[in-house]
Chains A and B, each alone.
Chain A
Amino acid sequence: MLLTGADIFAEVLVEQGVDTLFGYPGGAVLNLYDSLYHYRDKIHHVMTAHEQGAAHAADGYARATGKTGVVLATSGPGATNLVTGIATAYMDSIPMVAITGNVGTSLIGRDSFQEVYITGITMPITKHNFVVRKVDELADILRDAFRIAQTGRKGPVLVDIPKDVTSAKAEFVPKKPQIPEMHTYIEQKDLEQAAEMINAAERPVIYFGGGVSASQAGEELLELARKAEIPAAYTIMAAGVLGYGDPLNMGLLGMHGNRTTNWAVNEADLVLAIGTRFSDRVALNPDQFAKRAKILQIDIDPSEINKNVEVDHSLVGDVKQVLQQLLPLVKPAKHPDWMALVQSWQAQDYHPKNSSTRITPHQLIGKICELAGPDAVYVTDVGQHQMWAAQYIRHIRPRSFLTSGGLGTMGFGYGAAIGAKLAVGDRPVIHLTGDGSFHMNLNEACTAVSYDLPIITVIFNNTVLGMVRQWQTAFYEKRYSSTDPHRKTNYVKLAEGFGAKGYHCESVAEFAQAFEQALKSKGPVWIECVIDKDEKVLPMIPAGGTIEDMIMD
């Protein structure tokens, strides 16, 4: 059938199984929006307050579901406003398709109104990007974009469509979506070598990251850990993959990880790095990381092998498939001396002190977990509250701790929470934020109100940029340069101004009451919690340091 580019765009979205789309209209995408009007029964378009919010929403939707998130923006500023959202998805390997309109092909390169070279701008932060020059290419390019986003190591893809391409017509032939299948083939001798390393280890540790989550390999990981009795530590990207009650789950690793995980990696004779990339927030000092251990790395991306830390052996492939092939070769083992050592470290782990007179971060998070229940999805912004959330949330389902790990994007949370809420339906979505992060994109409250999304935002308000201030305290002799903005924001009134509900709490008891009300709400709720500005995220290993440098108070 002969269709316009705009209708082809809508047809391909439907064909690819897209039922929710985040975006913001504008001149260059008028034709696309006209098609979305006709396809409104099949594709739910969610309009945000700002394109950045739409990009984070598509990202949050993808993180919560594993499906590809889709975002649409107009040319020029619409396109550039996506950039932070695309980079956030890129750093955390989140499948996303970003579609931008552009000025007509005859106007390209002439500095036309709302023209930018968005494919040039996004080249380093996308897996790939396309400019559609002819309407005949549009359908296949969009299909390629979906395929690339989900193939191998996942990530964002951008498709730039000039306006005249959306009005031109082409023959459209429907096709079934190509589901990218991953076939991991690993030489038997490489599998055997890996298994021998595991079987020979006396002090093994698993260090795993977001790749385990992306590959949905939690079960295989647990099986490996149990079969060979290997205690495991995770990066922030893999929170929730292993259950918290499991004695083999040691907890968070790295800069704000606990003492036990960091000691265990330091003392191990074998580190199995699974779906992770030795970032500078975990391998803080790459030359000293796991210095007594042989390292076996399993990852889908060959370029991650030996990138930051030299490894002794590697298996490249989909984590789930690699583990399935490896497991039969791994011998059941027990490491009682090693486990006893791990337990002795656990006895010395950092434990924050409770207070009965003020709200402490760990007590607040404990209360949230208790009231929100095991099904909650947690979405964070970036800063101290994010680290506290990673440290103290004690029951997370897979795909239920959504956080900007790699890029560390303040302002990620509200948009991502909107995307997550649209993805998970009745499960509670709790957006944890700080007063710094929240001010960046709180405008998305209007979106949550428009679409009746009962997202509960808990604002850890310490009135300062706590994480930066913590570094100023520790490393800059308390010269608090530009971290105390003396803002006078009244969150209750501001929430009400948006048409949401706001609470102000100064005690955990007040918070519990507000939160219980919020869980019953049909729309968005903000709960501001007053936190002492000197609260720190502990323990902490300074950048570039080792476990020997760990700060405990």
Chain B
Amino acid sequence: MQKEVLSILVDNHSGVLTRVASLFGRRGFNIDSLTVSTTDDPKTSRITIVVHDDAKVLEQIIKQTARLEETQQIFSLDASHSLLRELLLVKIEADEKNRTEVREIAEIYKAKIIDLSRESMVMELTGEPDKIDGFLDVLSPYKILEMCRTGVTALERGGIQKHPRVK
């Protein structure tokens, strides 16, 4: 099993996300996370999908996605030459007794406290997925009331890298 971050440039049409997601569903490819947004070109959206599977299945995932009419480009990101980021929002049970220690952890991880009530605290953290995993691990002794992660979004380092266009 290997983990792969796929960057897919697609036509910015309604329904394009459904097409990609439905393809993954019917071919039995598992999605770890998926993000989508428009790019600098309003006609193009970027979908970033994290998958894990064996090499043969990953090759099929790329080829099958490339086959979609609205796929412009698909490539897998080399982790050492890419910037992977994820946003976390986490709501912790915190009152006057433990608020200080939670603040300390937040400071170490450079997480922002964006909401505070008498019995809870909401923190925001952006970073590589590993950093977010680490932060959540450190928070595990506390009671997490709610949380959500955006999933990975990613770009390559340096100037624009050449990848073959599918269409």
Contacts and interface: CB of A to CB of B under 8 A. Distances in A.
Contact of B60 (A128, A131, A148, A307): A307
A301 B64 CA distance: 10
Contact of B69 (A128, A303, A310): A128
Nearest to A305: B63
Contacts of B19: 123
B42 interface: no
Given A303-B63, A303-B64, A307-B60, A123 B18 contact: yes
Contacts of A310: 56
A120 B19 CA distance: 9
A301 B67 contact: yes
Contacts of A302: 63, 66
Interface string A100-136: 0000000000000000000110011001100100000
B18 A120 contact: yes
Contacts of A148: 69
A344 interface: no
Contact of B22 (A124, A128, A303, A306): A124
Contacts of A306: 56, 59-60
Contacts of B66: 302-303
B15 interface: yes
A26 B146 CA distance: 52
A119 B15 contact: yes
B26 interface: yes
Interface in B1-47: 15, 18-19, 22-23, 26
Interface in B56-106: 56, 59-60, 63-64, 66-70
Contacts of A120: 18
Contacts of B67: 301, 303
Interface residues of A, number: 15
A315 to B, nearest CB: 15
A127 B66 CA distance: 12
Given A148-B69, A306-B56, A124 B64 contact: no
Contacts of A305: 63
Contacts of A127: 69
Contacts of B26: 124
Contacts of B63: 302-303, 305
A422 to B, nearest CB: 29
B167 to A, nearest CB: 10
A305 B59 CA distance: 10
A233 B20 CA distance: 36
Contacts of B18: 120, 123
A303 B62 CA distance: 9
B163 to A, nearest CB: 15
A490 to B, nearest CB: 44
Contacts of A131: 15
Contact of A123 (B22, B56, B60): B22
A313 to B, nearest CB: 15
Contacts of A128: 68-70
Nearest to A133: B14
Most A CB within 10 A of own CB, among B23, B59, B66: B59
Most A CB within 10 A of own CB, among B15, B23, B26, B70: B15
B14 to A, nearest CB: 8
B76 to A, nearest CB: 15
Nearest to B69: A128
A131 B15 CA distance: 10
Interface in A291-330: 301-303, 305-307, 310
Interface in A205-227: none
Contacts of B64: 303
A319 to B, nearest CB: 18
A50 to B, nearest CB: 27
Nearest to A303: B63
Contacts of B60: 303, 306-307
A394 B45 CA distance: 53
B52 to A, nearest CB: 19
Nearest to A119: B15
A306 B56 CA distance: 8
A120 B26 CA distance: 13
Contacts of A301: 67
B37 to A, nearest CB: 22
A302 B70 CA distance: 17
A127 B69 CA distance: 7
A123 B26 CA distance: 11
Contacts of B69: 127-128, 148
Nearest to A151: B69
A523 to B, nearest CB: 42
Nearest to B13: A130
A131 B56 CA distance: 35
B81 to A, nearest CB: 25
A340 B56 CA distance: 38
15 contacts: A123-B18, A124-B22, A124-B23, A124-B26, A127-B69, A128-B68, A128-B69, A131-B15, A303-B60, A303-B64, A303-B66, A303-B67, A305-B63, A306-B60, A310-B56
Given A124-B23, A124-B26, A128-B68, 4 more contacts: A120-B18, A123-B18, A128-B70, A306-B60
Question: What are the nearest 10 A-B pairs in CB distance?
Answer: A303-B63, A128-B69, A124-B26, A303-B64, A302-B63, A303-B67, A123-B22, A148-B69, A123-B19, A307-B60
